[in-house]
Amino acid sequence: MKFVQNTYSAFSTFYTNRMRTFLIVLSISIGIAGVIVMMSLGAGAQKLVMNEVEKVGGPLTFGVYRPDRIRKGKGRYSKWTRNTSKHFLMMEDVELIRNECPAVDMAAPESYRSVNVSYDGKQKRTRLQATSYDYHLIREWHTRVGRFISDEDLSFWSKVCVVGEEIVQDLFSGLDPIGKEIKVSNKRFNIIGVMESRGKGLDPGMGSEDNQIFMPVTTTQTHFLGNDYVGHILIRAKNYDVIDQAVDQVKTVLLRANDGEEFFEVWVMKEELKSTNRIILIIELVLVLIASVSLIVGGIGTLNIMLVSVTERIPEIGLRKAVGAKGWDIRVQFLTESVLICLIGSVLGIIIGFGLTHALAGTLSKYFIKEFEWPSVITLKSILTSVAAGAAIGVFFGYYPASRASRLNPIEAIRHK
């Protein structure tokens, strides 16, 4: 019952002092909106990273490659030197990983090079990706029409290819290219499939995912590379719990097959993801701290206004205490006003934050980061944090005025002018 009375009294006070209430609510709303926008930026960045991770197979993936330069020594005495090892990654290594690593689900070779493709007088520079059937399963990237490279294509060095959506648009004007012949560096290949569109990634140096042409690795080695080497092996573990075990198994198998020489390096998506999320979290915390400055300013404004309110209402406080109200009742009354006004500001701040977040995401995508669309993400965490922050500010900055009011002497308060 007292809560209802205190709430009614608080709203009566708000109505009586409309301009004062509006200014407090405005300052709190701006602070809350800032916190939501900053947290949404961090959540958007995290979603972007996860989207890119999913494009390369998700957190279960890792890879092995032979670097051109390796680091020798430890600490400050270490130095980078050219990798002079006689060993290279080969298709035999891919087969060993598939057959002798129980924690590995799939493995696919990868080799890249830039090539010119042409059809009916139209030319385009694109990236040739030499791989195998498992590649599109690991990356969960399937064909829109036609089929992907098969194991039979590798066995028979078939002169077939799968093209990206950008190549279809530029060379075939969007028409179905299945069954047509395309020239790749003046050599003819039959198109058997078109990949689903993936768009541009976060790395501008890699170009669009859709500007690629896929061939059997054996065909590419014969017609373009002139050797049996594989530049990179993309691997997926069976589940998240055995990723580390899968990495150890792959290292053991490769060392055993190559005279115990560690000429290769391993990257693990799980570790890359941890590092990236840690950086995003730090950036998000810094942004939220910056935005919290306006919340503190709003809290100080609340404190000042509540002190003014206590001063103006000293006779009212004295009268209430004279008819039996206790110090605790007075304290709760003023705390209720402080918390309510901050919660109202929080609700309005959430609404403003929603609008600003969508506007900011659209602005970033349109004018600043044109290569990809920045996601607009409002999380339950940001909403709960905002409401909790509003309530905390109300209690923290409202407690002193409420306590000051509760300690007033009723006789002196009634005589106060």
Tens digit of pLDDT for each residue in 199-215? 776 555 556 889 999 99
At 15, which amino acid appears? Y
Q: State percent of the chain over pLDDT 90.
A: 36
Is-contact 168 177, C-beta < 8 A? yes
Asked if residue 266 has pLDDT above 60, the reply is yes
Asked if residue 62 has pLDDT above 60, the reply is yes
Asked if residue 157 has pLDDT above 90, the reply is yes
Quick one: pLDDT at residue 75?
Answer: 59
Tell me the mean pLDDT in the region 318-323: 72
Quick one: pLDDT at residue 78?
Answer: 64
Q: Is 321 helix (H, G, I), strand (E, B) or coil?
A: helix
- Alpha-carbon span 292 to 205, nearest angstrom: 37
Is-contact 121 142, C-beta < 8 A? no
Tell me the mean pLDDT in the region 238-256: 94
Quick one: pLDDT at residue 128?
Answer: 95
Direct distance between the N- and C-terminal alpha carbons of the chain, in angstroms, rounded to an integer: 32
Asked if residue 97 has pLDDT above 90, the reply is yes
Averaged pLDDT score across all residues of the chain: 84
Determine whether 72 is exposed, middle or buried from the number of CB atoms within 10 Å of its CB (0-12, 13-18, 19+). Answer: exposed
Tell me the mean pLDDT in the region 343-349: 87
Q: Is 23 helix (H, G, I), strand (E, B) or coil?
A: helix
β pairing state of 212-216 and 143-146: unpaired
The torsion angles phi and psi of 29, rounded to 5 degrees, stand at -60, -40
Q: Is 396 helix (H, G, I), strand (E, B) or coil?
A: helix
Q: Is 20 helix (H, G, I), strand (E, B) or coil?
A: helix
Tell me the mean pLDDT in the region 261-286: 83
pLDDT tens profile 397-416? 777 777 777 776 666 656 55
Encoded tokens for 28 = 């709190």
Provide the 10 A C-beta neighbour count for residue 380. Answer: 7
Determine whether 127 is exposed, middle or buried from the number of CB atoms within 10 Å of its CB (0-12, 13-18, 19+). Answer: middle
User: What Rg value do the Cα atoms of the chain yield, rounded?
Assistant: 33
- Alpha-carbon span 407 to 310, nearest angstrom: 11
- Alpha-carbon span 91 to 113, nearest angstrom: 18
Listed residue (413, 330, 408, 397) closest to 5, CA to CA: 330
